[in-house]
Homo-oligomer: A and B are copies of this chain.
């Protein structure tokens, strides 16, 4: 809430880029949820980018630590057909448009960070807001999002820290949020043809529209504020870990699985690729810089690679 008071123009100065919506429009609509969300995602982008830049004394940009890192903000206004509107929501719901058209606003912040060192996990988060106006003027709205971790090797301490940080943010809003959204995350990031999850999960939710807009916004804001405390301590802890070529290879095999999930199952990617005129580079930003597919790769029993696979094959409770 500390960020929500004060001059919008002043607040914008800390952002990485100009807001998509003109500052004057944001000021006119300052109490509207779409304005508050747009400012919140800009804050999240700026805070996360700044934290990454500070890693290892400011080497983010020269790519010493991260092989590929993207922190994207997207704000889109437009009109949807009734058919498209139905597909936007994971629980399809029929919406009535004026002359079949439904004006909508969609916005979100998303990020995928692929580090070079196989002992530093990949992280992904996405927080988004959607609103759509029906013919009678009523507004449908919902939030979605989540943060999840994809390590190459299991580190129990990291896993507990990551999940505990998310649980604390969830618990401030509802005791059911963490257990429910943890399970949703394990189910969503599942590579069915491999029988493996993509990583060790985190939280994931969609279509969240209760108890009320204010409370859901506050919950999403709490989640967005955890991305730095969830991830940066893990990065810093493993920054100087040495690794072998074999560990790097296993990382590359896991990166291949990451590509498989994102291209075959991810709803956002599938929707984006199927939408004519969408920005392919943004949609595929989540892919790693490099990946590897070895025929019949199966780690030897008892190794740390086999331990990782075991966890991916049957998701654990980490806290």
Cβ contact of A292, chosen from B264, B285, B290, B293, cutoff 8 A = B290
Task: Using C-beta atoms within 8 Å of the partner chain, give the interface range for chain A.
Answer: 20 to 34
Would A256 and B287 count as touching, CB distance under 8 A?
yes
Shortest Cβ gap from A298 to chain B (Å): 9
Shortest Cβ gap from A129 to chain B (Å): 25
Would A289 and B292 count as touching, CB distance under 8 A?
yes
User: What separation, in Å, do the CA atoms of A173 and B291 have in the docked complex?
Assistant: 43
Within 8 A of B (CB), among A182-216: 192-194
Q: Which residues of B contact A194 (CB under 8 A)?
A: 280
Q: How many copies of the chain does the oligomer comprise?
A: 2
Q: Which residues of B contact A284 (CB under 8 A)?
A: 260, 293
Contact mask for chain A residues 5-39; partner B; CB cutoff 8 A; 1 contact, 0 none: 00000000000000000000000000000000000
User: What separation, in Å, do the CA atoms of A259 and B292 have in the docked complex?
Assistant: 11
Q: Which residues of B contact A272 (CB under 8 A)?
A: 193
With A193-B280, A264-B273 known as contacts, the answer to whether A289 contacts B285 (CB < 8 A) is no
Would A296 and B281 count as touching, CB distance under 8 A?
yes
Q: Which residues of B contact A288 (CB under 8 A)?
A: 293
Q: Which residues of B contact A70 (CB under 8 A)?
A: 295
Would A295 and B273 count as touching, CB distance under 8 A?
no
Contact mask for chain A residues 83-103; partner B; CB cutoff 8 A; 1 contact, 0 none: 000000000000000000000
Shortest Cβ gap from A257 to chain B (Å): 11
Query: Does A62 touch B at the CB level, under 8 Å?
Result: no
Would A252 and B293 count as touching, CB distance under 8 A?
no
With A260-B263, A280-B194 known as contacts, the answer to whether A295 contacts B290 (CB < 8 A) is no
User: What separation, in Å, do the CA atoms of A294 and B284 have in the docked complex?
Assistant: 10
Query: Does A68 touch B at the CB level, under 8 Å?
Result: yes
Shortest Cβ gap from A293 to chain B (Å): 4
Q: Which residues of B contact A289 (CB under 8 A)?
A: 292-294
Cβ contact of A273, chosen from B193, B259, B278, B294, cutoff 8 A = B193
Cβ contact of A263, chosen from B263, B278, B285, cutoff 8 A = B263
Within 8 A of B (CB), among A236-285: 252, 256, 259-260, 263-264, 272-273, 278, 280-281, 283-285
Shortest Cβ gap from A197 to chain B (Å): 16
Q: Which residues of B contact A263 (CB under 8 A)?
A: 259-260, 263-264
Shortest Cβ gap from A152 to chain B (Å): 16
Q: Which residues of B contact A280 (CB under 8 A)?
A: 193-194
Q: Which residues of B contact A256 (CB under 8 A)?
A: 287
Cβ contact of A252, chosen from B68, B273, B290, cutoff 8 A = B290
Apart from A284-B293, A288-B293, 4 more pairs, CB < 8 Å: A70-B295, A259-B263, A260-B284, A285-B295
Binding site for B on A (CB under 8 A): 68, 70, 192-194, 252, 256, 259-260, 263-264, 272-273, 278, 280-281, 283-285, 287-296
Q: Across chains A and B, which 3 residue pairs bring their CB atoms closest together, nearest first? A: A263-B263, A287-B293, A193-B273
